């Protein structure tokens, strides 16, 4: 650098590898939120149909019916891709949708059960192609790990 200054850089991976640990996705927890958008099993006609489809998806994989559910285009977890990309987003921010779910509506969801459930929790029609992966939400007073 000018004036003979040296700028040393070091790669810090301490805080970046937490999402690679299996225990992060296995719970048990009462509240779960998608980190990859979930593909609905059926085409909704109303917003209430979206909630019903997600509740049915929980039961389909052997979980209890959620006591509360919030569906949204954005995940409750930081860094997760949106279920519907903005028209103004640069092309490199997009991701390819698997052909098997090309016609399905995508959404994110937060589901809360009456008691803790063990994971992994993977919901929806795209659960076999990496969609619908959920991660526990921290209970109130805890930080996201």
What pLDDT does residue 16 have? 61
What pLDDT does residue 14 have? 58
What pLDDT does residue 101 have? 87
Tokens of 26: 């296995």
Tokens of 2: 């000018």
Distance of CA 24 to the CA centre of its chain: 13
What pLDDT does residue 13 have? 57
What pLDDT does residue 82 have? 86
What pLDDT does residue 140 have? 63
Residue 90's CB: how many other CB atoms inside 10 A? 8
d(CA 51, CA 104) in angstroms, rounded, equals 15
Strand-pair partners of 69 = 111
Q: Number of C-alpha atoms within 13 angstroms, CB side, residue 11?
A: 3
What are the respective helix, strand and coil percentages of the chain, to the nearest 5? 20, 20, 60
What pLDDT does residue 142 have? 47
What pLDDT does residue 38 have? 94
What pLDDT does residue 136 have? 95
3-class secondary structure, 83? coil
What pLDDT does residue 119 have? 92
Identify the DSSP state of 116.
Answer: E
Q: What is the block-wise mean pLDDT of the chain (145 residues), using blocks of 10 residues?
A: 74 64 88 95 87 95 96 91 75 73 91 96 92 88 48
């Amino acid at each position: 650098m000018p004036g003979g200054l040296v700028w040393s850089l070091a790669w810090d991976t301490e805080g970046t590898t937490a999402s690679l640990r299996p225990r992060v996705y296995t719970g048990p927890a009462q509240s779960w939120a998608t980190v990859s958008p979930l593909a609905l099993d059926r085409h909704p006609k109303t917003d209430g149909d979206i909630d019903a489809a997600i509740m049915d998806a929980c039961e389909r994989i052997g979980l209890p019916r959620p006591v509360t559910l919030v569906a949204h285009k954005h995940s409750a977890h930081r860094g997760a891709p949106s279920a519907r990309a903005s028209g103004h987003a640069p092309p490199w921010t997009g991701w390819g949708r698997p052909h098997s779910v090309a016609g399905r509506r995508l959404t994110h969801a937060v589901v809360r059960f009456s008691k803790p459930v063990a994971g992994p929790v993977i919901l929806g029609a795209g659960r076999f192609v990496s969609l619908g992966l959920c991660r526990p939400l921290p209970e109130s007073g805890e930080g996201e790990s």
